[in-house]
Structure 1
Amino acid sequence: MARERSEVPDITLLGNHHTKYDFEYNPEILETFDNKHPENDYWVKFNCPEFTSLCPITGQPDFATVYISYVPDKKMVESKSLKLYLFSFRNHGDFHEDVVNTIMKDLVKLMNPKYIEVWGKFLPRGGISIDPYANYGCPGTKYEELAWYRFKQHDLAFMDKIDNR
């Protein structure tokens, strides 16, 4: 049985047929809903293979696949709002490293997850690709330890694998 939008009062974008696309960075578009299973540890992963932002110096477009993985606590990000948020980077000029850290920090501020990681795998421009990775684990918990472990292990299993270029 489908839930009515009125059953989830914080969700305004999902099911809205009058979607407005922001062409400038807009974290206010992000929405959350309650996690029905906060006592469980489980992964939620989003892949955005058509992410676009602009080089802050040249204004040229930068294309990437952005991976967002998190272990939710009490709140979860609503996927349509996340899609619109990521789209809002379309005309935003920032370096790859800044984009990845901004996305992670905005999502931490929004939903205070137990753990989150954001990995941007940008297509090469000028013969070089940049793949920034950022993560966060709730301080003073096992998730802080998970963040350090995953940070140390990041990319080790994928050193020879190039899958987006």
Structure 2
Amino acid sequence: MSDHSHLTLLGEQTVRYPQTYCPTILESFNNKHLNNDYFVKFNCPEFTSLCPITGQPDFATIYISYVPNIKMVESKSLKLYLFSFRNHGDFHEDCINIIMKDLIALMDPKYIEVWGKFTPRGGISIDPYANYGKAGTKWQEIAFTRLANHDCYPEKVDNR
């Protein structure tokens, strides 16, 4: 049985939502399946941030997929971390890259991709995608291939 005593948020009955961007809220635990390469995917349909110029809210679904290495992100801490963007002013592209880099710093995954599908404002939607493959591994090449072929066949956009 694994020791998860270092996880401070999971099981906590009183949820304290951060009021400002807070990467330190992220928590990790050990991957029990080090010999398997597998994807973990999070769909976060209620992401919000603020436009850094107008202060107006931006809404998105954030998709996070990663192939764990030694550490994995704990989902409640991820939820609270994503909530911390609610009052944070940054462009869509910045939010996606910040999320990816914070998760890389936390977990050092073999591979990760973060895709934001923002609802339209002013008649246009912005859907930034960022990915990373661990340098010196097959995942570095996979990251380039996925980025080069990303969204070659975009979905029918009628669900926003």
TM over 0.5: yes
Distance 1:24 1:126, change over 3 A: same
Is 1:39 the counterpart of 2:35? The answer is yes
Q: 2:157 is aligned with what amino acid? A: I
Q: 2:83 and 2:26 mapped to 1: Cα distance?
A: 12
Q: Secondary structure at the match of 2:120?
A: coil
Once superposed, what is the RMSD of the aligned Cα atoms? 1.3
Q: 1:163 and 1:79 mapped to 2: Cα distance?
A: 29
- Corresponding residue for residue 85 of structure 2: 89
Q: 2:54 is aligned with what amino acid? A: T
- Corresponding residue for residue 111 of structure 2: 115
- Corresponding residue for residue 144 of structure 1: 140
Which 5+ residue runs of structure 1 have no aligned equivalent?
none
Identify the match of residue 130 of structure 1 among 126, 141, 152: 126
Distance 1:100 1:163, change over 3 A: farther
Q: 1:154 and 1:129 mapped to 2: Cα distance?
A: 17
- Corresponding residue for residue 15 of structure 2: 19
- Corresponding residue for residue 72 of structure 1: 68
- Corresponding residue for residue 156 of structure 2: 161
User: Number of aligned pairs?
Assistant: 160
- Corresponding residue for residue 49 of structure 2: 53
Q: 2:10 and 2:22 mapped to 1: Cα distance?
A: 17
Distance 1:40 1:49, change over 3 A: same
Contact 1:123 1:164 in 2 (8 A): no
Deviation at 1:10, TM superposition (A): 2.2
Q: 1:95 is aligned with what amino acid? A: F
What fraction of aligned residue pairs are identical, expressed as a percent? 71
Q: 1:84 and 1:64 mapped to 2: Cα distance?
A: 16
Deviation at 1:161, TM superposition (A): 2.1
Q: 1:116 and 1:97 mapped to 2: Cα distance?
A: 16
Q: 1:48 and 1:106 mapped to 2: Cα distance?
A: 16
Deviation at 1:82, TM superposition (A): 0.1
Q: 2:159 and 2:58 mapped to 1: Cα distance?
A: 13
Is 1:7 the counterpart of 2:3? The answer is yes
Q: Secondary structure at the match of 1:15?
A: coil
Deviation at 1:39, TM superposition (A): 1.4
1:85-116 per-position Cα deviation (integer Å, ceiling 9, x unaligned): 00000000000000000000000000000000
After TM superposition, the score normalised by the length of structure 2 is 0.97
